[in-house]
């Protein structure tokens, strides 16, 4: 029992600070309206659709707790501590919104390394290629993604097709820098008669790494990412349902994912 208690990081008393902030929906809404700077009472009334007599006690509590401060007469803004709290709440809201999408509910998130899971909010505003499409349509979308990538391609590929290999080689021959993490099994396909003409091993624009425990598929260039995960029920990689996102935050997330898996991979060339 003592060993279990030593591992306990939180208790009810420690949660009171969170309860103070999340005391009501109105208080959270009030706080979030300071995310883009100082606000006067009139602005807060309009933004929250609430009267000043209801807002002032809540503002007073947040001022007491060091989350808000009086900036000028009748004008308030978030303190540095308040800005951190607001940022964390916004991340939590974005993450919750993302996880409500059927894509995340029906796929195995364990395929994503834990350090990257904590920042799923970066994938907000993703588009999803849905299950109605055939595998052929999904593969064509993948090829189009690669053909539109001009400077760099980063790919995590536990499975490949001949069309994919042809496109990768063609892009590399035209000067695109290609970085691929794949499995030993896939790399052996490069020695088969079918794939021999499109082997990446001797192309100076292609860098290769091996990691035999890949569970996801991923592609990225400077402006877009695409991500496929295993189906939750079968745990088989689902290449007919994947997300595409083009925000700078998503591209940065994708680069972090790629670098993380490179760090546990073996370089080939």
Pairing of strands 152-157, 177-182: parallel
Residue 253: per-residue pLDDT: 95
What is the domain partition of the chain in residue ranges? 9-91, 101-267
209-236 confidence digits (pLDDT tens):
999 999 999 999 898 899 999 999 999 9
Q: Which residues contact 147 (CB under 8 A, 6 or more apart)?
A: 167, 171
Helices (H), the chain: 2-7, 16-21, 25-32, 41-48, 52-64, 80-99, 102-105, 114-117, 135-147, 162-173, 184-189, 248-262
Residue 170: per-residue pLDDT: 84
191-210 confidence digits (pLDDT tens):
776 666 656 666 788 898 99
Name the class of domain 9-91: mainly alpha
Distance, in Å, from the CA atom of 204 to the CA atom of 185, rounded to the nearest integer, reads 22
Q: If residue 182 lies in a helix (H) or strand (E), which one and from where to where? A: strand 177-182
Residue 242 clears pLDDT 60, i.e. is over it:
yes
140-169 confidence digits (pLDDT tens):
777 777 777 778 999 998 888 788 888 888
β-bridge partners, 153: 178
CATH of domain 101-267: 3.30.870.10
Name the least confident of 34-38, 233-237, 242-246.
242-246
In the chain, DSSP finds a helix count (H) and a strand count (E) of 12, 11
Distance, in Å, from the CA atom of 51 to the CA atom of 5, rounded to the nearest integer, reads 46
66-113 confidence digits (pLDDT tens):
899 988 888 999 999 999 999 988 888 888 887 888 888 899 999 999
């Amino acid at each position: 029992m003592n060993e279990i208690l030593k591992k306990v990081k939180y208790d009810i008393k420690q949660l009171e600070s969170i309860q103070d902030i999340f005391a009501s929906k109105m208080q959270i809404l009030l706080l979030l309206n300071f995310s883009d700077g100082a606000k006067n009472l009139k602005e807060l009334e309009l933004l929250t659709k609430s009267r000043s007599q209801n807002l002032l006690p809540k503002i007073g509590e947040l001022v007491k707790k060091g989350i808000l401060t009086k900036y000028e007469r009748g004008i308030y803004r978030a303190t540095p501590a308040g800005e951190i709290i607001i940022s964390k709440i916004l991340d939590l809201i974005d993450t919750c919104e993302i996880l409500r999408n059927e894509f995340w509910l029906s796929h195995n998130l364990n395929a994503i390394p834990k350090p990257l899971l904590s920042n799923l909010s970066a994938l907000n505003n993703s588009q999803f290629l849905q299950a109605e499409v055939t595998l052929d349509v999904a593969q064509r979308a993948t090829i189009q993604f690669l053909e539109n990538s001009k400077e760099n391609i980063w790919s995590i590929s536990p499975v490949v097709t001949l069309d994919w290999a042809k496109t990768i080689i063609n892009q590399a021959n035209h000067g695109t820098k290609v970085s691929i993490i794949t499995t030993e099994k896939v790399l052996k396909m490069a020695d088969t008669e079918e794939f021999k003409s499109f082997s990446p091993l001797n192309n100076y624009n292609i860098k290769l790494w091996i990691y035999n425990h890949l569970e996801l598929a991923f592609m990225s260039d400077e402006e877009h990412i695409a991500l496929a995960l295993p189906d939750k029920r079968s745990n088989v990689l689902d290449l007919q349902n994947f997300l595409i996102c083009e925000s700078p935050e998503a591209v940065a997330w994708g680069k972090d994912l790629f670098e993380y898996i490179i760090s546990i991979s073996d370089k080939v060339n």
